[in-house]
Chains A and B, each alone.
Chain A
Amino acid sequence: MTVTKGIRDTLSMTRNSKSTRIGKTSRRGRRHPLATIALVTIGLLSTGGAYALFSSTASAETSSVNTQASVDEGKKLFSSNCATCHGLNLQGVDNVGPSLYGVGAASVSFQVGTGRMPLANQGPQAEKKAVQFTEEQVSSLALYVASLSPGPAIPSAEYLGANGNASTGAELFRVNCAMCHNVAGAGGALTQGKWAPALAGVLPVHIYEAMVTGPQSMPVFNDTNLTPTQKADIITYLKYLDKNPSPGGFDLGAVGPVSEGLFIWIFGLGAIVAVTIWIAAKAN
C-alpha cells in the first residue's frame, strides 16, 4: 500500500467513520452477545482516545491538500536532519545509519513521532526523547521517505479508536507481546542492554506502527500474523489499561512480585519494627 492510498483510506474513513464503526461492531457482535455492550462502554470511555485520533486525522487531511508541497518540505527536513546518517537518497551510511528503503511512512512516523529519531547518541537502542518536529513536519518526512520507496503506510484511523474488543486484545497481547513487554505492559529486559519499553501512554498510532514496522529487536507483525482488526483489539486493551487505574490501589510500577516483596520488607516490616521499638522504649 502506498502512502497516497493510505491517506485516501484515512480520508474516506473520516467521512463515514461512524457508520463503518457501528457496522463493524455488529458484525463482531456475533462472537459474543455482550461484546456490543462492552464496545459501547469502551467507546464511551475512550472519548479521549478518539479525540487524539481525530486531531491526527485532521493533520493528515491538511497535509494531503498539497501533497507535493509536503514531500518537498519533507525532503528539506530530511536532508538537513537525517541525511548525515541515512544518506541523501535513503541509501544509508556505513556504520552510521541503515538505509531507509522500504521502511515506509509508518516507520518514519513511529521513529520521529516518538522522538527516537533523529538519533542523539549511539547506544544499544535508540532512546525516546522529546519529539523534535511538529506533527506536520513528521508527516512531511514520512511522505518524503515513502515517496522514494514504498513501505508500510501510516495506519488508517478506523483501527486507532481503541474501540475494538479488549478481551481478544488482552489475549493477543499475552500471546504475542508479553514475553518482551510484560503482561501488564510494564516493559522488560532484552539481551545486550536492549529493552522492550513500557507501553503506558503510547499513542494508538505509534502502537500500530510499532507492530507493522518492528523497530529494533521487535518482530514485525504483518497483516497475516495479526489482522488490522486484531491490532485494533490490542490497542483497545492497552488503552483500557491506560484509562482504568489499577482496581486494587497503587500498582507499585506493575512489575509484579519484586516490587511487592521490596515494599513489604521496607515499608511493611519497617513500619512494624518502628512500632516495636517504640513499644519497647516506652516499657523502659
Chain B
Amino acid sequence: MTVTETKPAAAPTVVETPAAAAPSRGARFTGAAANYIDERTSISGLVKELGRKVFPDHWSFMLGEVALYSFVVILLSGTFLTFFYQPSMVEVVYDGSYVPLKGMQMSAAFSSTMHLSFDVRGGLLFRQIHHWAALLFIAAIGLHMLRVFFTGAFRKPREINWFIGFILFVLAMAEGFTGYSLPDDLLSGNGLQIINGIIKGIPVIGTWTSYLLFGGEFPGTTVIAMFYSIHILLLPAILVAALGAHLLLMIINKHTQFAGPGRTNDNVVGVPIMPLFAAKAGGFFFVVFGVIVLIASFFTINPIWTYGPYDPSPVSAGTQPDWYIGFADGMLRLIPPGWEVVWFNNTYSFNIIVITVILIAFLGLVAAYPFIEAWITGDKREHHIAERPRNAPTRTAIGAAGVTFYAVLWAAASSDLMSTHFKVTIEGVIHTLQVLFFLGPVLAFFITKRICLGLQKKDREIALHGFESGRIVRLPGGEYVEVHEQLDDYERWRLVSYNEYTPLTIRPDADGRISGAQRTRAALSHWFFEDRISPATKTDVERSNQH
C-alpha cells in the first residue's frame, strides 16, 4: 500500500483513538483508558501526526533505523554490564576462573570485567552484544551519512539535521572510545597511551592537559572512573537529547524520496507509519537485535583475557583501535619521521599537531558541507526529492574523494596486517599509502565525476532515443538499423526530473564593487557546475519522438 502525504498537512486518513464500536468489555476498557490519557495529555494530536507520517519505501532509508535500533540494544546490554563492572583502578589480585591470569595483580576494573566475562552467567554474551552493537551502531551511522550525502538529502531545509547527525556521529565515536577503555586491558591502555601522546603533542597546553585528564602522570589512577561517568552518564544523555532532536526534525521536515511519477517536491509517497510500517519497524528492530545476538554468540570480540591487564611496559604488535578510530590511528602511522625543529634549545615536534589539525579539518568539512555547498551554489530552494548521485557530479565526486581519503587512513591503521597477510614489506605499504593519501582523493574525484557525467549522458540518450532493443531491421532500401525501444512515461520521469544548475554570475554589490568573497564564490560555483549534462526537456523529447 502506498499513500501520498501532502506537505501542507490536510488529508485526514488515519484514525487514532480506539473508538468503542463494539462494546466488549476489553474494548470499553481500552477506550476509557485512552480517553483518560488523552484528556490529560492531548496525546491524540501527536499520535495522529505520527500516524500520518509516511515512510518512503527505498531500502536505503532504513539505515538510520539500523543505527537507532543498535543504540537501543547498546542501552539494554550496557545496563546489564553496569551491574557487575567496577570503575576503579585499585589494584587487586585476580582469583577468577581464567587460569592464565590467576594470581595476577590488576585493576579492579579489569578484574571485574574478567569476572563478568567468566563467572557471571551470560556475562560474556552481554559484553559481546554490547561491543558488537557498538561497532554496528557506528557503521550504520556511517552508511546512513553516506546515503544522505550522496542523495543530497542534507540540502535545505535539512542542513541543521545533518549537523545534528554529525554531532551524533562524533558522540558515538566518543562513546565507543571511552567504552573501549573501560576494561583497562593492555590493548585499550595502549590506545589511551596514544591519546595521551596526541594530547601532549598540542603545543604549550599539551602536557598540562594530559596531567589534568589523567590526574597526574599517565596512566594515573583516576581516568577509568572519569571515563565511566562520561561513558554512562554524560555522553548518553547528550546523545539521547541530540537523537530526539534529530528524529523530531526528521518528522517535521519529512523524508526525502527519489523522483518518480506522482512524487513531487511537495509530497512524500510511501507507507504510512501506522499500522503497517510500525509493525514492520517493530519486526525490523528484532531483526537487528537478532543479527547482533547471533554475531555475539559466535564471534569473539575484544578478548581482554588474551590482552591481559594494562601495564605501561608491554606493547603488543598489531595494536589497533576499534574501526571507527582507525582513521586517526592511520593518520599517525602515515606521518613521515623527523618533523622536529630545535629553537632556542627546545625541541618542537610537528608530527603530532599536524595530524590533529588535518583530522579536525576533515571532520569540520564534513560537518559544514551543507552550508558550504549552499553558499557555493547559491541555492535557496527547499529540496525534498533525493537526488540521484549522478545528477550532482561534483558533489558525488567530492564525496568519493572524501571516502577515499578516509579509506586510505583507515587502511593505514592496518598497515602491519596488510604487510603480514599479503607478504609485502611494511615500508612498501606505508609509502604506497602516503602517495595515495595525496593522489587517491584527486583520482577518485576526477574518475567519479567522469563516470557521473557519462551516466547522465546515457540517461539523456535513453530518455530521448529509447534504449537499444538488440533487434536489427532491414529497411526496404537495404539499410540495416537497430530498433530503439522508447521508454514509457514513468521510466522517463525518473531519468529527466532533476534540476539543472548554472554557475553563479558575479554581480556588483550596492556600491558597484565586486568583493573578493564574491569572486571566490563565483569561481567555486563555476568549478562546481562547469561540467553538466542538461536533463532532456519536454520539447527535446517531443522533438526526438518526431524522428
Please list the residues of chain A having a beta carbon within 8 angstroms of any beta carbon in chain B: 31-32, 34-35, 38, 41-42, 124, 166-167, 169-171, 174-175, 178-184, 186-193, 195-196, 237, 240-241, 246-252, 254-258, 260-265, 267-269, 271-273, 275-277, 279-281, 283-284
Contact = CB atoms under 8 A, between A and B. Distances in A.
A168 B457 CA distance: 69
Given A264-B132, A268-B136, A269-B136, A256 B319 contact: yes
Given A167-B99, A261-B135, A264-B136, A193 B300 contact: no
Can you list the 9 inter-chain pairs with the closest CB atoms, starting with the nearest?
A: A188-B317, A261-B323, A248-B300, A193-B425, A280-B59, A189-B416, A189-B419, A166-B100, A183-B316
Contact of B425 (A32, A124, A248): A124
Task: Name the prevailing secondary structure of the B interface residues.
Answer: helix
Residues of A contacting B: mostly? helix
Contacts of A41: 99
B302 interface: yes
Contacts of B57: 280, 283-284
A249 to B, nearest CB: 5
Nearest to A251: B300
A281 B280 CA distance: 13
A175 B309 CA distance: 12
Given A187-B317, A189-B420, A249 B297 contact: yes
Interface string B162-183: 0000000000000000000000
Contact of B187 (A166, A183, A265, A279): A183
* Residue with the greatest number of chain A CB neighbours at <10 A, chosen from B140, B299, B308: B299
A189 B430 CA distance: 12
Given A179-B315, A189-B420, A276-B59, A258 B320 contact: yes
Given A279-B59, A284-B57, A250 B298 contact: yes
Interface string B295-313: 1011111110111100101
Contacts of B321: 257
Contacts of B66: 269, 272, 276
A57 to B, nearest CB: 26
B427 A260 contact: no
Given A167-B104, A189-B416, A241-B306, A261 B326 contact: yes
A23 B302 CA distance: 38
B58 A280 contact: yes
Given A192-B425, A256-B187, A260-B135, A279 B62 contact: yes
B139 A265 contact: yes
Contacts of A184: 303, 306-307
A180 B140 CA distance: 34
A38 B420 CA distance: 35
B288 interface: yes
Contacts of B143: 269, 273
20 contacts: A35-B103, A42-B99, A167-B103, A170-B308, A174-B314, A182-B316, A184-B307, A187-B317, A189-B318, A189-B417, A248-B299, A254-B303, A256-B318, A258-B417, A265-B139, A268-B291, A272-B140, A279-B62, A279-B280, A281-B59
Contacts of A260: 135, 299, 301-302, 322-323
A35 B425 CA distance: 43
B304 to A, nearest CB: 10
A229 to B, nearest CB: 16
B366 interface: no
A34 B102 contact: yes
A167 to B, nearest CB: 5
Query: Which of A32, A251, A264, A281 has the largest number of chain B CB atoms within 10 A?
Result: A264
Interface string B318-337: 11111110100000000000
A182 B420 CA distance: 12
A275 B66 CA distance: 11
Given A254-B303, A268-B135, A283-B57, A178 B425 contact: no
A182 to B, nearest CB: 4
From B118, B313, B316, B424, name the one whose CB has the most chain A CB atoms within 10 angstroms. B316
B112 interface: no
B63 interface: yes
Nearest to A178: B316
A246 B300 contact: yes
Contacts of B199: none
Contacts of A263: 295, 299
B143 to A, nearest CB: 6
Given A250-B300, A260-B323, A275 B101 contact: no
Interface in B343-359: none
B251 to A, nearest CB: 20
B124 interface: yes
Contact of A269 (B140, B186, B306, B319): B140
B267 interface: no
Contacts of B423: 193
B323 A258 contact: yes
Nearest to B320: A257
A178 B310 CA distance: 13
Contacts of B140: 269, 272
A109 to B, nearest CB: 26
A268 B139 contact: yes
B284 interface: yes
B268 interface: no
Interface in B273-305: 280, 284, 287-288, 291-292, 295, 297-303, 305
A163 B280 CA distance: 57
